Structures are given as structure tokens and as C-alpha cells.
Amino acid sequence: MIPASFDYVAPKTLPEAVAELVKHGDEAKVLAGGHSLIPLMKLRLSTPSFIVDIGRIKDLNYIREADGHIAFGALTTHHDIEFSDLVKRRLPVLSSAASQIGDPQVRNRGTIGGAAAHADPFGDFPACLLALDAEFKVVGPRGERTIAAKDFFVETFTNALEPQEVLREIRVPSPPEGSAGTYLKFSRRSQDWAIVAVAAQVTVKGHAVERVAIGLTGMGSRPLRGSAVEQALRGKPAHAEEIRAAADRAADGSDPPQDLNASPEYRRHLATVLTRRALEQVTGHH
């Protein structure tokens, strides 16, 4: 299908992009990698009459560690995250998730900013960013503000941005020594969307689990934290028995959808199995 007609502008700077959004109000949409927006426009599920393409803005594609956090420019592609040595070393949960998003074409064009802003409960980055306590730096007509991940993902396809705001950067606190993470995704076909997926980020000190964060994909209308698992495992030995008992609580408080792929019961089961496997993997118990 061909999208409805629209006007297009490709500003060179963020302030120009914000000015265009202010000028065109609700009619305007930001375009980044286009791998979620364009399909929606082709199906006419989204019909913006004005597109603000931020793809030409310089200095929005970077990954760097400074001042206790790892920062991702909003236009950093899934591919760049997948192959970044810094991310592999410091945040393997994100390289692992990036490598499982769609196919190479999608990973070459899709951006972390777009994937976050799209707020798809089946998207892979949102649950990771929630588990990592990411912060979102956004720019709007009144300047810059910061949104915590727990507030950023509001509902299916709804984020906490005002219509005239652009996401500029995503910051993840640098994990302490002894941290490890992974993202386990279950789908029916290779390269497909998740039925359920689990992000696990754990810090082990001595033999005890000092910090643990679980993010769940596909278990509700937005990404969820596996809070019951976290509570059950924090401070406990990183042993198989404790891990199994904690992982059994992965679906507590979730509201998984029913669709053609899976029933809510099946998703709850998957969440517990994937959480156990992810925790075993990151703590070295197999």
C-alpha cells in the first residue's frame, strides 16, 4: 500500500526539528529509521500530513561512556549497538537484544530512539531499558528534560513525550563490577517478534546477588519489571535453587495478552522459564 500524501522536511539541527514540530502541531510526526512509522503509514494506521525527518541531524549517532553512564544518541542503529565493543563489554544485555531484532536490514536502519519512542510492548529494547533504569533526555520548546524509564513507557504505542518533543539521548547507569546481563527471546520463527522475552541484569558480589533487574517483553500493554523475582533474589546466594524459586514469580503482577501466537497462560509459563534460564546464564549456573 502507498501512504497518504504528506509534506516533508529534513532539518539539520535539533532546535530546527523542534521548531517544525511546534509549527505543525498534531499533524507532524518525527521520522528516524522509518522501520516502524513507514509500515504504519503504508497501512494508513498512521496518517501524519507532515514528516520531520531527523535522520540528517549530526551528532545523534554515538555510544560513549562518561560520568558514570553509557550514553546512546537517539539515532544509534540496532546494528551499531549489536557490534559495539563497549556495549558488548559493559551492557551485553543490549548487544544481545540488538542482535535479535528483525533482520540485518531492519538493524541497519532502525534506531534505539525510534524503538523506544515507538513503545511497542513486543519491541525488544523497551524491556531492556526499563531493567537498566535508563534515562531519556528529551528536547522540546521549553528546553531539555529527563524522563525515567519507568515513566517513559506509558501504554501500547504511547510514550511520555509531548508531541513537540524529540528524544535526543538515552542514558544507562554504568553497571558496577561483577555485573552481567542477557536478553532471551522466544519467537515462533527466526527473526520474528517476541512472544515473550526477558532481559536480566545481575550484579553478584561474593556468592550473593547484590543487584538484580528483570525486564519483561510481551507480558502486558507495556514493558514490565519482574519486581517479584527481583525481591525474591536480592541478597540471596546465586544458586540454582534460589534462582528457580525466584524465577517462578516472573509472571506475578503481569497481564499478558491473548493473541494468535499464545494464550496468557502460555506466556506466563514462558516468562518463568526464560527468567530462570537468563538468571542461570548470567550467574554462571547451567
Ligand X SMILES: Cc1cc2nc3c(=O)[nH]c(=O)nc-3n(C[C@H](O)[C@H](O)[C@H](O)COP(=O)(O)OP(=O)(O)OC[C@H]3O[C@@H](n4cnc5c(N)ncnc54)[C@H](O)[C@@H]3O)c2cc1C
State in angstroms the smallest separation of the CB of 142 from ligand X: 16
* Residue 39 within binding range of ligand X, rule CB under 6 A: yes
* Residue 74 within binding range of ligand X, rule CB under 6 A: yes
* Residue 31 within binding range of ligand X, rule CB under 6 A: yes
Strand partners, 71: 64, 171
Runs of H (alpha helix) within the chain: 14-24, 37-42, 78-83, 85-90, 92-99, 104-109, 112-118, 124-131, 149-152, 227-233, 240-247, 264-283
Integer distance in angstroms from the first to the last C-alpha of the chain? 48
**Residue from 173, 154, 169, 145 nearest 68 by CA:** 173
Q: Which of residues 183-222 bind ligand X (CB under 6 A)?
A: 193
Stretch that binds ligand X, among 30-38, 230-238, 241-249, 258-266 (CB under 6 A): 30-38
Q: Which amino acid is it at 14?
A: L
Instruction: Pull the grid cell for residue 118.
Output: 515507538
State in angstroms the smallest separation of the CB of 236 from ligand X: 32
Query: Rounded to an integer, what distance in angstroms lies between the CA atom of residue 246 and that of residue 248?
Result: 5
**CB of 119 or CB of 229, closer to ligand X:** 119
Q: Which of residues 164-183 bind ligand X (CB under 6 A)?
A: 166-167
Query: Rounded to an integer, what distance in angstroms lies between the CA atom of residue 30 and that of residue 230?
Result: 36
Stretch that binds ligand X, among 4-12, 34-42, 236-244, 267-275 (CB under 6 A): 34-42
Q: Which residue in the set 11, 73, 121, 123 belongs to the binding site for ligand X (CB under 6 A)?
A: 123
* Residue 57 within binding range of ligand X, rule CB under 6 A: no
Report the interface residues with ligand X, using CB under 6 A.
29-37, 39, 54, 74, 101-102, 106, 110-111, 113-115, 117-118, 123-124, 161, 166-167, 193
